Structure formats: structure tokens, C-alpha cells
Amino acid sequence: MPSFDIVSKVDAQALDNAVNVTTKEITNRFDFKGSHVVIDLNKKDYKINIETDDDMKMRQLCDVLISRAHKQGIDPLAFDISKEGLQSGKVWKKEVLVRNGLPQDDAKKIVKLIKDAGMKVQASINDDLVRVTGKKIDDLQAVIQLCRSANLKLPLQFVNMRD
């Protein structure tokens, strides 16, 4: 019976490469010359700690990080930049969370979306992924299109397609 998995994962190596490329670009930019900029990736917790001189540079740095990560194949929705930066003395600090894994409530939304569509497939939640099985591959491809067209605000990948 054909099946596939819906996951939301970020490749740690691609994230590390994106942070390194961002650091390299920022050190070469004229508007950041002589300013305090720190980009630190915590691979264990999937957090990026950023320090800059002011709020404007913080926003520019976040934009550069997201664009470089997108070029590395990381979905921009994987970054949670909604948390405001805070000022500590002369330095602005911000913690950017990287969404890795599919939380239970989001998995339930996906399953509900699939069931409400009335397709002839079964969706089940297994830890941090949603497994979709059906009799025809065409039904599974319709589920993939449904998930892509739905505005879930999640970086979804469709992996492990089996026939």
C-alpha cells in the first residue's frame, strides 16, 4: 500500500552553512564595518543568538540570514523571528528559533485538513511526523498538493514515498 510521511525538519549542516555564509557576508559589507556583530548557532537547541549595535542592523542581519538560508534549501518559515530583540547596554540581542520537528497541535491540524478534504487516504500521527497511506499514488499526490496549497505557515517536506 503506497504511503509517504509529512515532516518538518531542518538539515543541521545546511543551517550551519547558512550561518557561516551570513557571517562571511556581514564581515565584508560596508555598512557593518567596525560594528559589533555576533551570530552564534546552538546546534543542539536549534537557536541562533544574534548581537548587533542597533535595531536596524538587527533587522538587516535577520533578512540576510533568511535569504542565505533559503539559498541553502531551508524554508524561510522555519525561522521564528517574531520575538523582539532586547537592548542590553549598548548591544541589541535577539534569539531566533529554528522550527525543527512537527509539534502535536500542527500534526493534528494536518490530519484534520486531510480528513476534512474527504480523500480516500488514512493519516496517522507518529511522534513528529504524519504518515499518509492510500490505495493509489494519485490520492497521495492530491494530499501533497492539498498540504502545499493550505496556508499552514509550516515548512513541510514530503519524504519516504513508498509504492
Domain ranges in the chain with CATH number 3.30.70.990: 12-98
Q: What is the pLDDT of residue 153?
A: 85
Residues of the chain within CATH 3.30.70.860 domain(s) are 3-8+101-162
Does 20 have pLDDT greater than 90?
yes
pTM of the entire structure? 0.83
Percent of the chain residues topping a pLDDT of 70: 100
In CATH terms, the fold of domain 3-8+101-162 is Alpha-Beta Plaits (3.30.70)
Condensed to tens digits (0 to 9), the pLDDT of residues 49-93 reads 999 998 889 999 999 999 999 999 999 999 988 888 888 888 999
The dihedrals phi and psi of 71, each to the nearest 5 degrees, come to -70, -25
* Bridge pairing between strands 86-88 and 79-80: unpaired
- The 10s digit of each residue's pLDDT in 109-143 is 999 998 998 888 998 898 888 999 999 898 889 99
Binning pLDDT at 50, 70 and 90, where does residue 1 land?
A: confident
CA pair distance 152, 25, nearest whole angstrom: 32
Q: Cα(135)–Cα(150) distance, rounded to whole angstroms?
A: 23
Q: Can you give the pLDDT at residue 48? A: 93
CATH topology of domain 12-98: Alpha-Beta Plaits (3.30.70)
Give the cell for residue 138.
494519485
Q: How far apart are CA 12 and CA 57, in angstroms?
A: 25
